[in-house]
Structure 1
Amino acid sequence: MSKEKIVKVRQLTRWQRIGVASLFVMGALVLAGGAFILSGIYNIGASRDHWSITNFIITILRDRSVAVASGGIEVPELDDPDLYQLGEQHFLGTCTTCHGTPGEPLNPLYSHMLPKPPDLTGAFEHYDAREVFWVVNHGLKYTGMPAWPAAHRPDEVWSVVSYLRRLNKIGPENAAIEDSAAEQAQNLNTCARCHEAAGQPPVSDLVPRLDGLSEAYLRRALEEYRGGQRASGIMAPIAFDMSDEEIASNAASYASLPPPAGRQNSNANIALGRQIARQGLPEQDVPACQSCHGVNPAASRLEGQSERYMATQLKLWQHAGHRDASAEGRLMSVIGQRLTEAQGKAVSAYYATQNAEEAQ
């Protein structure tokens, strides 16, 4: 009598059964999701809001992403008139297109965007300064909120953040009064909005004085902003819309103005600044500033310029890749990285005390 072959069936463990069941569930969800996407049932039109569950998921994803990505960002002093006054002018000239003017209704065209551009008077009610900076700097996907148009320009981004913080503190009613006064004072002139004209100082010490700068330099600067060789999220959009004739006209207009007088600063290391300007720093392979500035008409004149503006620009040059597309930009990038921050402040202070008219 032949022996029957006994087949033993191995029983799956509890966790193995859970794993197999999970794979089946996941596969079913993938198939169901694919079928849902291909069916076209979901209305993608901006005329209809997302489902509540979709809004819930997007909001959590957005807020957690911004919170994690913005961690570690160093926040400057935001109660700074130079910062928020510059930010105000950029906000009025650019941001209000979508977000509207504080205290006034939103343009119907933009109010029908999905998501609708938020009222930025409440930006600091939902996010802190780091998070607002990150959003302004990097934008948000699928919302119409663009990234800042220029890399390595945190100074410009912080000016907008500073203004939004002030907007939140004083309220839309008071902000609307300030903005209206600013609009009337500038008479909506694009350049005068920040740079002023006819001997008046700029709206902020972070803005360069253009009075009496050479026409060749001003024309080159605007052309480089327009072509993307110079990085500025404030200037690039303005210059992009300017024709060759408008660039030439604005350059000639500012070049015809009398140059500014210097401003004294008793707290600065003027002696060190004078040495860098006239002799350079041979041990650091830094040439004298006046070997180009004041000699080459295509280089900017520094006498009488804002100390804070020059020091900020030198600090920006220390970041690799900042405005290095032009020959002049590549040169200044190298020099900026060879200067310490203290040396940059000293030479900026020296030039700010000099009378431009006497230097000509």
Structure 2
Amino acid sequence: MRDPPRRLTPAKAVLAAFAAAGVLAAAGGAAFVGLGVYDVSATGPHWQPVHSLLELALKRAVQRRADAHPPPNDLLTPQRVMQGAACFRDRCVACHGAPGIAPEAFSLGMQPVPSSLVEATRHWRLQDLYWITRNGIKMSGMPAWEYRLEEGELWSVVAFLEALPLMTPDQYRALTSAPEAAPRRAATSAGPAASAPVRGTPRCDGLVEAPAPLAPPLSSAELARRAFRQHGCTACHTIPGVVGPETSNGPRLSGLAGRDRIGGKAFPTEDGLAAWIRNPQAIDAHSAMPTLQVSENQARLMARYLLAH
């Protein structure tokens, strides 16, 4: 006589149902990716649920991290607004546009389309805007400006964004294109003191020797990996310990300390490798490796990492 089948308890039945659902979801996800179902072309938008989920994730992620960077007390000053206008003109207008100025044509073909920043301060706190400007946003086309703008310049961009909602096209053009010695006014919402005449347009140089410290602080190795990513090294090279695409444009950067020469010319020392990273064509005029405006400090950080791997 056969024993009757054993019945699952309610708790085990629920667990089994969840496990089965998990297996089906994993199989469905694998099929979704493997069959290329999702259209990744930039000619069409994300599906609305995907778009909404990404926006929610962005908002929560920024808010969680931005409080480590409170705004400086002297943020809304004419000088900061003018410096921020110079940086915005040189770095941001191409994608985001400005009062009376359309974005460049290429940016209008991006998905998602870069947003207008006229009302950015209605949706983001000042520390949020600083964090986004400094760190960028993955898979959006928004770059990290940490290695291209000084700390003061990053906050000046935020000051400019605070002033932007009240700025007319004529005011923007005057602020960003007047002659160096011409007096002009920074249109801000910070009160009478912010509208005092200021001379000269501050420069936005774009070469950062040492980015502002992060909280929590990163190890030297992680700072080097960050520098490799931010200077685009992974576009051509596979670098030990650095996440990036599989590429063969340039040689794999491992075991450099054991080589006789780097690039056939430079010595495998910190000085030699840092000099090669900063200006390879000064060492070998026929090198295809471009000059990437890497600062001395960052080049040495990267050289020490490579010589240890």
TM over 0.5: yes
CA distance in 2, matches of 1:59, 1:101: 23
C-alpha distance in structure 1 between counterparts of 2:84 and 2:45, whole Å: 32
1:203: which partner in 2? 201
Q: Which residue number corresponds to residue 71 of structure 1?
A: 67
Over 3 Å counting, the alpha-carbon distance change for 1:152 and 1:91 in structure 2 is closer
Q: Indicate the residue corresponding to 1:160 in structure 2.
A: 157
Q: Is 2:144 the counterpart of 1:182?
A: no
Residues 268-307 of structure 1 correspond to what in structure 2 (within 5 A)?
none
Q: Identify if the C-alpha distance between structure 1 residues 15 and 326 changes in structure 2 by more than 3 Å, giving closer, same or farther.
A: closer
Q: Which residue number corresponds to residue 150 of structure 1?
A: 147
Q: Corresponding residue for 2:261?
A: none
Deviation at 1:79, TM superposition (A): 1.6
Letter in 1 for 2:29: G
Equivalent in 29, 33, 41 of residue 37 of structure 1? 33
What SS is found at the alignment partner of 1:186? Answer: coil
Shift of 1:146: 0.4
Number of equivalences: 201
Evaluate the alpha carbon distance shift between residue 82 and residue 30 of structure 1 in structure 2; reply closer, same or farther with a 3 A threshold: same
Name the CA shift for 1:201/1:109 in 2 (closer, same or farther; >3 Å).
same
Structure with greater proportional helix content? 1
Deviation by residue 1:298-326 (Cα, 9 ceiling, x = unmatched): xxxxxxxxxxxxxxxxxxxxxxxx97469
Distance 2:67 2:176 in 1: 36
1:155: how far off?
1.8
Structure 1 residue ranges without an equivalent (≥5):
188-199, 209-221, 234-239, 241-321, 328-360
Letter in 2 for 1:203: T
Distance 1:48 1:166 in 2: 34
Name 1:61's counterpart in structure 2.
Answer: 57
How many angstroms apart in 1 are the aligned matches of 2:172 and 2:130?
Answer: 22
Alignment TM-score, normalising by the size of structure 1: 0.50
Asked whether the equivalents of residues 84 and 162 of structure 1 are also in contact (C-alpha less than 8 Å), the reply is yes
* 2:66–2:127 CA contact under 8 A, matched in 1: yes
- CA offsets per residue over residues 249-303 of structure 1, 9 Å max, x none? xxxxxxxxxxxxxxxxxxxxxxxxxxxxxxxxxxxxxxxxxxxxxxxxxxxxxxx
Q: Secondary structure at the match of 1:37?
A: helix
C-alpha deviations, 1:133-163, integer Å up to 9, x for none?
1100100000110001428943221010000
The 8 Å contact of residues 231 and 323 in structure 1, kept in 2 or not, is answered as no
- Mapped pair 1:81 → 2:74: no
Task: Give the corresponding residue for 2:118.
Answer: 121
% same residue: 24
Q: How far apart are residue 40 of structure 1 and its match?
A: 1.3
> Distance in 2 between the 1:147 and 1:177 partners?
29
Q: Which runs of 5 or more residues in structure 2 are unaligned?
A: 181-197, 213-230, 232-294, 301-309
Tell me the residue number matched to 1:140: 137
Aligned 8 A contact 1:151 1:231 in 2: no
Partner of 1:19: 15
Paired with 1:76 and 1:19, the residues of 2 have a C-alpha distance of 52
**Is the counterpart of residue 49 in structure 1 residue 45 in structure 2?**
yes
Detail structure 1 runs of 4+ shifted over 3 Å in the superposition: 6-11, 200-204, 322-327
Counterpart residue type for residue 10 of structure 2: R
| Structure-2-length-normalised TM-score | 0.57
C-alpha deviation, 1:8, in angstroms? 7.5
- Kindly indicate whether the alpha-carbon contact (under 8 Å) linking 2:150 and 2:211 is maintained by their aligned counterparts in 1: yes
Describe the SS at the equivalent of 1:120. Answer: coil
